[in-house]
Amino acid sequence: MAMLFWFGNLFYVAVLLVNAVAVLSEDRFLARIGWAGQQDQGFGGGDVSIKAKLINLISAIRTLMRIPLIMVNVVIIVYELLLG
């Protein structure tokens, strides 16, 4: 049981989750269920709902984390190939 929460595993889980968010397709999936990022956010988001927050987060991850994720994934793959 203790092996389950090994600190490296937490990192792997985090990277996999961010990967899972990043591969979501904007046109094919997110737009179909109405979760595409709105561009007309405007200011004064006083009463933003959880859904709006989630949509915002997903679009932020998709735009911001794409290139860092590629590098992190490459590092992890090389590490796993060499030492795993």
Partner 1 sequence: MAHQRPAFTAASPPLLHHPVPQHPIPHHTMRSPPPLSQTSSGSAYAASPYQQQPGVPMHNQGHGIHPAYGGFLADPAAQIGLQMGASAMRNSREYVKQNMNRYVNYTALKHYFNVSNSYVLNKLRLVIFPWRHRPWTRIPKAVVPGQTDGMFLPPRDDLNSPDMYIPVMAFVTYILLYTMLAGIRGHFHPELLGKLASTAFAIVVLEILGLKFGCYLLNINNESQLLDLVAYSGYKFVGIIATILIQELSSNGWLRFLGFFYFFSSNAFFLLRSLKYVLLPETSTDNPRGTVQAVARAQRNRRTQFLFIYSYVVQFVFMWILTTG
Task: Tell me which DSSP letter residue 39 carries.
Answer: S
As measured in angstroms, the least distance from the Cβ of 27 to partner 1 is 25
Question: Which stretches of the chain bind partner 1, using CB under 8 A?
Answer: 1-7, 9-10, 14, 44, 46-48, 50, 53-54, 57
As measured in angstroms, the least distance from the Cβ of 77 to partner 1 is 22
For residue 74 the two structure tokens come to 């490459």
As measured in angstroms, the least distance from the Cβ of 71 to partner 1 is 21
